[in-house]
């Protein structure tokens, strides 16, 4: 299993990174499947799904693992307090991580998701932040590693 974000990638580099890791299925963990700005318009849901299909990579939206609007706002307030922008955040707020875990991750049936995953290719957990430590996907990945023994590789641009 791998994790990957949008920021720092072009569509070509993103697809190259996924195919280089043997990714066969991308799990989109975003609530709203869009990214602002022309540099990342390729990551908007319909465009992303077309690009993935052309690269023979499956797509599944797992909205149940997306943070709520309220949780995202909590993180944005902490970002503002620290003077960092979403695109250069390096860590999650501790309250955000605690609440995401309690409110979203704990009630979600990861076992059922794992049972449905194909075993013949790598799976990618996907959101927007460049660094997994700044994104809820790191919390999902850690749970998959600790409870299901899935090895996790974090993919970054470059």
102-128 pLDDT, tens digit each: 999 999 999 999 999 999 999 999 999
| Phi, psi for residue 48 in degrees, rounded to 5 | -60, -45
Q: Euclidean distance between the first and final Cα of the chain, in Å? A: 19
Q: Is 51 helix (H, G, I), strand (E, B) or coil?
A: helix
Q: Is 139 helix (H, G, I), strand (E, B) or coil?
A: helix
Q: Look at residue 6 in the predicted model and tell me its pLDDT.
A: 95
pLDDT tens-digit readout, 39-95 = 999 999 999 999 999 999 999 999 999 999 999 999 999 989 988 877 778 889 999
Write down the pTM of the prediction. Answer: 0.94
Q: In this structure, what token pair is assigned to residue 73?
A: 């706002």
């Amino acid at each position: 299993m791998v994790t990957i974000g949008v920021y720092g990638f072009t569509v070509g580099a993103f697809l190259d990174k996924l195919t280089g890791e043997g990714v066969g299925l991308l799990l989109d963990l975003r609530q709203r499947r869009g990214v602002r700005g022309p540099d990342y318009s390729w990551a908007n849901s319909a465009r992303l799904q077309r690009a993935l299909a052309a690269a023979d990579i499956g797509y599944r939206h797992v909205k149940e693992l997306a943070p709520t609007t309220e949780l995202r706002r909590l993180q944005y307030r902490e970002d503002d307090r620290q003077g960092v922008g979403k695109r250069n955040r390096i860590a999650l707020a501790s309250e955000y991580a605690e609440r995401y875990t309690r409110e979203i991750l704990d009630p979600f049936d990861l076992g059922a998701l794992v049972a449905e995953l194909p075993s013949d290719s790598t799976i990618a957990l996907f959101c927007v932040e460049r660094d997994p430590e700044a994104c809820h996907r790191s919390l999902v990945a850690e749970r998959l590693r600790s409870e299901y023994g899935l090895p996790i590789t974090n993919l970054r641009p470059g």
